[in-house]
Chains A and B, each alone.
Chain A
Amino acid sequence: MNALLFYGFGATAVLASLLVIAQKNPIYSVLLLIASFGALSGLYVLLEAPFVAVIQIIVYAGAIMVLFLFVVMLLNAPHEDTEYDERVHPLLRPGPMRFGAALAIAFGIELVWALNRNGGEAGPFAGGAVSSVAAIGRSLFGPYAFPFEVTSVLILVAMIGAVVLARKEEP
């Protein structure tokens, strides 16, 4: 059952992610990415981390992706410009970009290779999982209290930065 779910969610995630980068229309990309996040959330449930799963939906799908969708709708520039500008730098021709894609594939292969070379722990998970919210909370406000507080500052800075950047210039 678990294996079935894993392969189901995993395939959904991979497929959706592939389609995200294959779409020309960013709206579809955003929606497909949400689907991918949903699949990942399912994987988190399989990993006995229900809190992370729900937070994944709330934060990623419910907040960050809405922001993306918002911007896409606001700019209303769905299709990327495919026509190719001759004046651009020699390094920017489509060739080098394909080189980048090839690099990405090579990197994926390397990662899988690295994992398999050491044998890996193919077996099922051994120990117990920490899935209670209370335990996570205790960790978060205990040993991780300082980083946690720092992230609040980070968010504040990001918020102010976003407001300043996106503000229309006052005449």
Chain B
Amino acid sequence: MVGLNHYLVLSGVLFSIGTAGVFVRRNLITILLSIEIMLNAVNLTFVAFGRALGSADGQIMVFFVMTVAAAEAAVGLAIVISLFRHKESLNPDSFTGLRW
């Protein structure tokens, strides 16, 4: 039977995939997408725990996470656009001019 642990393992795998995506991709948009994967993995654990504990709190946390994700996507993409205007590139490693 499928139980809490199954969902948690699935979530862990998704989170790791997201993390790996942040490191291996060299495209700002894909990196943002990877972050969305990580957020969704966390959402899954919230809902799963909420189901296991019989409480609505897990689902409510998901709404908050979604709000934050929406805000993050909006601001992140706006930054991506203005970066792209400057350098015609989406490679995060081409924006190192602020390091010192």
C-alpha gap A164/B60 in the complex (Å): 30
**B5 pairs with A122, CB closer than 8 A:** yes
A108-121 vs B: 1/0 string, CB under 8 Å? 10011001100011
C-alpha gap A36/B11 in the complex (Å): 12
**B36 pairs with A64, CB closer than 8 A:** yes
Min Cβ gap A13→B in Å is 6
Number of interface residues of B (CB under 8 A): 76
Interface residue ranges of B28-86 to A (CB < 8 Å): 29-30, 32-34, 36-37, 40, 43-44, 47-48, 50-57, 59-60, 62-64, 66-75, 77-82, 84-85
| Count of CB-CB pairs between chains A and B under 8 Å | 254
Q: A interface, how many residues as a size bin?
A: 35 or more
Instruction: Tell me if A's interface is mostly helix, strand, loop or mixed.
Output: helix
**A47 pairs with B71, CB closer than 8 A:** no
Min Cβ gap B38→A in Å is 10
Report which B residues bind A (CB closer than 8 A): 1-10, 12-27, 29-30, 32-34, 36-37, 40, 43-44, 47-48, 50-57, 59-60, 62-64, 66-75, 77-82, 84-85, 88-91, 93-94, 96
Report which A residues bind B (CB closer than 8 A): 2-3, 6, 10, 13-14, 17-18, 20-21, 23, 26, 29-30, 33, 36-37, 40, 43-44, 46-49, 51-52, 55-56, 59-60, 63-64, 67-68, 71-72, 74-75, 77, 80-82, 85, 88-89, 92, 97-98, 100-101, 103-105, 107-108, 111-112, 115-116, 120-130, 135-136, 139-140, 144, 147-148, 151, 154-155, 157-159, 161-166, 168
